[in-house]
């Protein structure tokens, strides 16, 4: 019986740690993708300003409230706009940003392909 | 054979030169536009957003209020985020005292990351323009408002933020508020 109790406690503790670690991972993942609006060039995760510290608390609170990563981004976007996200969504303003590398990759691939074909001939 | 190789090479340079020039122009244009654009975060100051929903503690008491209870009347409200350690808050303080005289306006203070004692000293020294003071000890309420520093001021009417002032109030903004709240 004593062993069983011990086992239950151990299992409980381990599970507790896992869920806690998950939250922390999600927390740092989200805060790393948020731009500190005062100390630009730094993420909320790296920054230690009053604003960043408060925002970290808010993110933590929203995670414990059960909000998903995207819901938290949406929430912050309504408050501060797209600018707060380091990873911008694909839309009218950002399509060049997203599609240009792909386009360049395809053009480069086409050039290489063509050159190889010429060499073969 | 030699002739065709030559023409091929010739063609390559013919394409390469305009291509290089176009690429350079493109990069130049992007950098020219991009580097001239301000990188500093400037929030929109004229909004029509609804006020956020939140629960907040009243300054120096245990009482809790919801946002709807605070801004429930049919008058203009001015939410002013302030702190005793914030120097620009001292600059804008006379404007707030002046606005206090306006009967159609109620000034609500949000005390940001402050100590009760210091905040009380600040108010004793410069007078209290607020009809109600809320307490935001960890700065999370300010984030609900989309604020990112102190001072910030929000003009509210009918549950909507009609104007946002980033930084301290000045004479022009003061006059603008007086004009709106008549």
ipTM score of complex: 0.72
Residue A83 is predicted with a pLDDT of 83
How many distinct structural domains can be found in chain A?
2
- Say which CATH topology domain B55-180 has: Glutaredoxin (3.40.30)
Distance, in Å, from the CA atom of B57 to the CA atom of B131, rounded to the nearest integer, reads: 15
Q: Is the pLDDT of residue B4 over 70?
A: no
For chain A, give the percent of residues with pLDDT over 70.
94
Least Cα distance to B112 among B78, B144, B138, B73 occurs for B138
Same domain, A59 and A117: no
Q: Is B21 helix (H, G, I), strand (E, B) or coil?
A: helix
Same domain, A78 and A101: no
Nearest to A79 among B39, B41, B143 (CB): B143
Read off the pLDDT band of B80 (50, 70, 90): very high
Cβ atoms of residues A63 and A111 within 8 Å: no
A80 touches chain B (CB under 8 A): yes
Q: What is the domain extent for residue A38?
A: 2-89
Cβ atoms of residues B113 and B86 within 8 Å: no
A97 touches chain B (CB under 8 A): no
Residue B1 is predicted with a pLDDT of 44
Residue A16 is predicted with a pLDDT of 66
Provide the shortest C-alpha distance from residue B149 to chain A (in Å).
Answer: 7
Mean pLDDT of B22-35: 89
Domain range annotation of chain B: 1-39, 55-180
Distance, in Å, from the CA atom of B122 to the CA atom of B93, rounded to the nearest integer, reads: 10
Residue A4 is predicted with a pLDDT of 86
Q: Is the pLDDT of residue B111 over 50?
A: yes
Upper half-sphere CA count for residue B27 (Cβ side, 13 Å): 5
- In B, which residues are within 8 Å of A96 by CB distance? none
Query: In this structure, what CATH number is given to the domain that contains residue A32?
Result: 1.10.8.640
Same domain, A14 and A39: yes
User: pLDDT (tens digit, 0 to 9) for every residue of chain A, 121 residues total?
Assistant: 788 888 888 887 777 666 666 777 888 899 999 998 888 788 999 999 889 999 999 999 999 999 999 999 999 988 888 888 888 777 777 788 888 899 999 999 999 999 998 888 7
Nearest to A79 among B41, B139, B146 (CB): B146
């Amino acid at each position: 019986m004593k062993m069983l109790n011990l086992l239950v406690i151990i299992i409980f503790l381990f599970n507790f740690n896992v869920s806690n670690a998950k939250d922390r991972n999600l927390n740092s993942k989200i805060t790393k993708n948020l731009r500190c609006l005062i100390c630009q060039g730094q993420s909320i995760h790296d920054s230690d300003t009053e604003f960043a510290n408060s925002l970290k608390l808010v993110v933590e609170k929203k995670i414990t409230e059960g909000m998903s990563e995207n819901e938290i981004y949406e929430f912050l976007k309504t408050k501060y706009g797209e600018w707060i996200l380091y990873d911008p969504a694909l839309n009218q303003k950002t399509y060049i940003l997203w599609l240009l590398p792909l386009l360049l990759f395809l053009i480069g691939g086409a050039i290489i392909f063509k050159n190889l074909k010429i060499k073969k001939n | 054979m030699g002739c065709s190789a030559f023409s091929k090479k010739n063609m390559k340079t013919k394409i390469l030169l305009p291509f290089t020039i176009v690429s350079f122009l493109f990069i130049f244009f992007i950098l020219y536009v991009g580097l001239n654009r301000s990188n500093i975060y400037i929030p929109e100051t004229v909004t029509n957003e609804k006020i956020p929903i939140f629960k907040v503690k009243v300054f120096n008491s245990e009482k809790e209020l919801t946002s709807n209870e605070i801004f429930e009347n049919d008058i203009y409200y001015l939410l002013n985020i302030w702190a005793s350690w914030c120097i620009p808050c001292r600059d804008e303080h006379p404007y707030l005292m002046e606005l206090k005289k306006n009967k159609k306006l109620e000034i609500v203070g949000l005390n940001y990351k402050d100590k009760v004692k210091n905040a009380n000293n600040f108010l004793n020294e410069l007078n209290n323009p607020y009809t109600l003071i809320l307490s935001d000890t960890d700065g999370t309420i300010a984030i609900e408002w989309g604020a990112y520093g102190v001072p910030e001021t929000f003009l509210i009417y009918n549950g909507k933020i009609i104007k946002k002032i980033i930084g301290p109030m000045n004479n022009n903004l003061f006059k603008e508020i007086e004009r709106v709240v008549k």
